[in-house]
């Protein structure tokens, strides 16, 4: 019965656009304090039920425990003074929260994880 | 990486659920350096691509992961390549266990509307991987790299590096020609493996090994990634036929160090339905 209800709800969602439907998701954005984080939070809060931000360096299994999905991201490494590669989140393979790794911060995080996803 | 995805699997959930995305396709001029890769040579002047972002408000570039052999372990899935400075098969969108690489660098306001929707779908998709793990490591290059390195033999700047990538037997037969090497590799692809430079029959390593044709597997006529090679070798051990070769092959292509036929039979019967072969995991059959 609950499966049928879920299917009906999902079908309803498919018919809607992202502007009309808010996803029942809690997202934690791990980035740098600044305008990029603010932009992400504005976007996420318009589309998911809960979105919060955390300093990337503070991302752990404990700080991510209430998140359905984590995003690891950073400001652009291209500064006026040159390229400054952001430090990645200090994650290990024991971190099992669903995690989206973006751009240079994601690449830096991959270096320590030592998995097949890598920064080529 | 720039702002276009290519080689993508449009049937994947992130393009369809919960929001169906009608992808707008563009013709992207094929990056010139793609021609150095076997797949790139066949791509033509333009490739079908999907735009993730246009010009960024602040300079930035995305990143890709290595694509060759990416999906040879069960924790990985390739979803899309991207317009990048590495190669046409590199991973721009892909997943390993609970980690998803969204290699594009644009923040939401710089993404196309379609990309923003795909990103939302990706959030939903990834929720299903809570508690999963990325377990595979990349300990050896996929045999697909051998075809790229063969091209290095014809390039004066890369020749020295390319030469280090092959066994003496292959180099002798190719006589320094990249084209001949590619023909040799194609003829022997089923038997290629990554040999260790310093340890006989030891585990291959990413940086110090080289590609070689496994003469033992070739003599059997069974591809080293075909599970039938294990059954054949165990049978030969049981029958006492060419048992030295059988044991070498079994130990080379598994993580087991068993010695006796009965032990190999027990191990194979217990595990044969759970085995997969991985180049990137060291040219081994492993348990899923």
Q: pLDDT tens digits for B77-87?
A: 999 999 999 99
Residues in A closer than 8 angstroms to B136, CB to CB, are 115-116
Q: Do A102 and B133 touch (CB under 8 A)?
A: no
Strand partners, B102: A102, B93
B90 and B42 both lie in a single domain: yes
Q: Which of A85-94, B206-215, B279-288 has the lowest mean pLDDT?
A: B206-215
In a domain, A12, yes or no: no
Contacts of B208 (CB under 8 A, 6+ apart): B196, B197, B198
Distance CA A89, CA A108 (A): 8
Contacts of B261 (CB under 8 A, 6+ apart): B234, B237, B238, B243
Distance CA B61, CA A89 (A): 19
User: Shortest Cα distance from A58 to chain B (angstroms)?
Assistant: 18
pTM to 2 decimals?
0.92
- A22/B contact by beta carbon, under 8 A: no
Please tell me the predicted confidence (pLDDT) of residue B106. 96
Of B20, B107, B123, the CB nearest to A25: B123
B196 and B109 both lie in a single domain: no
Of all residues in chain B, the one with the smallest CA distance to A65 is B130
Strand partners, A26: A50
B282 and B162 both lie in a single domain: yes
For residue B22, give both structure tokens. Answer: 């009608």
ipTM of the shown complex: 0.92
Residues in A closer than 8 angstroms to B58, CB to CB, are 76, 78
Q: Report whether B164 contacts B183 (CB < 8 A).
A: no
In a domain, B134, yes or no: no
Count up the domains in chain A and report the number.
Answer: 1
Q: How far is CA A7 from the centre of its chain?
A: 26
Residue numbers of the domain that contains B41: 4-127
Residues in A closer than 8 angstroms to B17, CB to CB, are 10, 14
In a domain, A1, yes or no: no
Confidence band, pLDDT 50/70/90 cuts, at residue B137: very high
Count up the domains in chain B and report the number.
Answer: 2
B88 and B171 both lie in a single domain: no
In a domain, A95, yes or no: yes
B148 and B123 both lie in a single domain: no
B153 and B265 both lie in a single domain: yes
Of B63, B98, B136, the CB nearest to A104: B63
Q: Is B97 helix (H, G, I), strand (E, B) or coil?
A: coil
B159 and B253 both lie in a single domain: yes
For residue B261, give both structure tokens. Answer: 């036929």
B171 and B248 both lie in a single domain: yes
B261 and B170 both lie in a single domain: yes
- A70/B contact by beta carbon, under 8 A: no
With a cut of 90, say whether residue B197 has pLDDT above it: no
Residue numbers of the domain that contains A44: 22-113
């Amino acid at each position: 019965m609950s499966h049928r209800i879920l299917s009906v709800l999902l079908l309803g969602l498919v018919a809607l656009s992202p502007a009309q439907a808010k996803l029942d998701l809690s997202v934690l954005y791990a980035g740098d304090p600044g305008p990029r984080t603010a932009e992400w939070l504005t976007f996420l809060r318009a589309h998911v039920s809960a979105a919060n931000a955390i300093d990337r360096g503070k991302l752990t299994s404990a700080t991510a425990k209430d998140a359905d999905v984590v995003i690891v991201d950073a400001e652009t490494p291209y500064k006026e003074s040159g390229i400054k590669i952001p430090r990645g989140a200090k994650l290990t393979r024991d971190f099992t929260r669903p995690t989206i790794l973006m751009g240079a911060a994601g690449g830096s995080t991959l270096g320590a994880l030592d998995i097949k996803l890598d920064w080529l | 990486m720039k702002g276009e995805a290519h080689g993508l699997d449009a049937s994947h959930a992130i393009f369809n659920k919960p929001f169906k995305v009608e992808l707008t396709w563009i013709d992207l001029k094929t990056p010139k350096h793609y021609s150095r890769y076997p797949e790139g040579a066949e791509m033509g002047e333009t490739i079908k691509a999907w735009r993730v972002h246009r010009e960024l408000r602040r300079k930035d570039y995305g990143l890709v992961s290595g694509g060759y052999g990416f999906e040879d372990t069960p924790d990985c899935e390739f979803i899309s390549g991207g317009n990048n400075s590495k190669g046409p098969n590199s991973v721009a969108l892909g997943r390993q266990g609970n980690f998803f690489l969204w290699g594009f660098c644009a923040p939401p306001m710089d993404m196309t509307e379609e990309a923003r929707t795909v990103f939302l779908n990706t959030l939903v998709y990834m929720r299903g991987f809570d508690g999963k793990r990325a377990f595979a490591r990349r300990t050896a290059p996929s045999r697909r790299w051998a075809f790229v390195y063969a091209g290095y033999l014809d390039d004066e700047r890369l020749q020295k590096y390319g030469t280090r990538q092959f066994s003496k037997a292959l180099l002798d037969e190719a006589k320094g020609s990249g084209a001949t090497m590619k023909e040799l590799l194609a003829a022997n692809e089923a038997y290629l493996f990554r040999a260790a430079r310093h340890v006989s029959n030891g585990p291959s390593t990413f940086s110090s090994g080289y590609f070689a044709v496994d003469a033992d597997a070739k003599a059997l006529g069974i591809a080293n990634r075909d599970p039938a090679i294990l059954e054949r070798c165990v049978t030969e051990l049981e029958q006492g036929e060419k048992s030295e070769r059988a044991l070498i092959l079994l130990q080379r292509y598994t993580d087991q160090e068993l010695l006796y036929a009965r032990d190999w039979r027990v191990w194979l019967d217990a595990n044969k339905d759970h085995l997969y072969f991985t180049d990137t995991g060291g040219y081994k059959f492993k348990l899923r």
